[in-house]
Amino acid sequence: MNWKYRITVDPDVLAGKFIIKGTRISVELIFDRVADGWTTEDILSAYPHLSRDDVLVALSFAAEYFGRKKTIAAGKVAV
């Protein structure tokens, strides 16, 4: 899914976090909800101004964003 027209950054909105265009809903918030076990339907119910495509585009954006980042194995990080 092409996220480039639906994800935006504005330094004056949510401290410059990546957001769904035309909302104050961040990609991070959607990821947090998914991490908490929320389904797409749960997210859409809680945030009725979002569309299914908004949720999918946030996931697509994050997959591409993190796919470009260099990461290290979690087991190699001192906690």
Least trusted range by pLDDT, from 17-21, 57-61, 66-70, 72-76 = 72-76
* Topology annotation, domain 7-76: Arc Repressor Mutant, subunit A (1.10.10)
Of the candidates 44, 42, 50, the one whose C-alpha atom is nearest the C-alpha of residue 24 is 50
- Above 60 in pLDDT, residue 79? no
**63 vs 49: CA distance, rounded Å:** 23
Token pair recorded at residue 23: 């909302």
Angle between helices 27-35 and 52-68 in degrees, nearest 10: 90
**66 vs 68: CA distance, rounded Å:** 5
Token pair recorded at residue 40: 């797409």
SS3 30: helix
Q: pLDDT over 90 for what percent of the chain?
A: 65
pTM above 0.75, yes or no: yes
Q: What is the pLDDT of the chain when averaged over all its residues?
A: 86
